[in-house]
Structure 1
Amino acid sequence: MSSATKLLASFTRLSLRESSFQRSISTAAAPLYFRLTQVVEAEPLKKKKKMDPMLIRQREERKKKKIEKQIRRLEKNASQLKPIDELEVPRTILQEKEIRKRSIQLPEEVKDQRVALLKEWSHYKYQQHLAETTMIDEVMASQQHALEELRKVSEDLWREAIQLDQTLLPYRARGPLRTPPIEGYNTPDGEYFNRTKKWD
């Protein structure tokens, strides 16, 4: 057995683990070294695709239009009240609407009496509204006529007459608007937890 084969036989996995990172396997004057390096797991970089500038601009415009549409929808629904879950009718009840209907047959005399009463009430309310509006119109017309006549007599008196009367609705507020909580007070209805839903 030659020296090279002896050397290769001794070059096993065990000897690799125990040896250093540099090992000579040559008997010549200038030894050769095997160098172990760390494993580098990488892949080549992907080439950047060249995008058409018109295509990029179209995509940006589409995004912009979508955002503008959402803003318009929010502005349109801004005046609407926010939905309350407690007032929504469950679908099961809506499906059982026909079953839950009460079939009460009223006699024709009662129906006619109710219709006549409703007509009489609506006529009475219309006459009341008409009387109130005519009275307000008459008062405003007489006030305007009086102001015109006053202006003919004296301009200074007319200016004083059209000024707002600050003492017409006097307002006085006394005492604190909020009282501090009483320490150790046991509420008769139990503790209150605010669980009102908030929509942003």
Structure 2
Amino acid sequence: MASFISKILLNSARVAHGLPSFSGSHFHTQTGGLAFRFTQILNAEPPKKKKRADPRLEIMRKHRMIKRLKKVQNKMGAAELKPIAEFSVERKLTQEKRKRNLPEITYEENERRALLQKTWSKFKLEQHCEDMKYIDSMRKSQQKALEELRYESEELYELALKRDNNLMSSLVLYGPTETPPIVDYYDQCPDGQYVDITKEYK
């Protein structure tokens, strides 16, 4: 009973001084220097019940937002693209009169071309077969020569099978070199004029 009365007095004193009361805390007493203790203040409200939104209303809201955005975009106008001089084509180059009219090919010409293509394909096939036969005959001759050499001397046969690293040492090939820079090329560049910002490290 005394603890209850002391709790009421403490709450009234806090309210009088403009402080929050301990209505949400638990009050208890114990022996010792700290006779009075309070637990943590709990002033939380119960969670509100969530309202279930109608999916049709959500869809209608989205449609309204899209309509508003479209109206704003129509008022602002379409975005203007920056013209590029290199992509523009002269009108005289797009005229139909500049198109080349190919002559109609007759039936006899089509037959002649088809026969020519068949003849060429047959010729290339025969040429390939002859090359393969020649390579096969050379391989057989090489194998026969190695067998005869092995029959004569095993040492010469082993030397013949070794790789000759100096076989291609005297071969010198000259290929295309880097083209020297052309003077005033940037003024005559077919892609248009531009500023060279290549970094040079000295």
- For the criterion TM > 0.5, the same-fold answer is no
**TM-score, reference length from structure 2:** 0.38
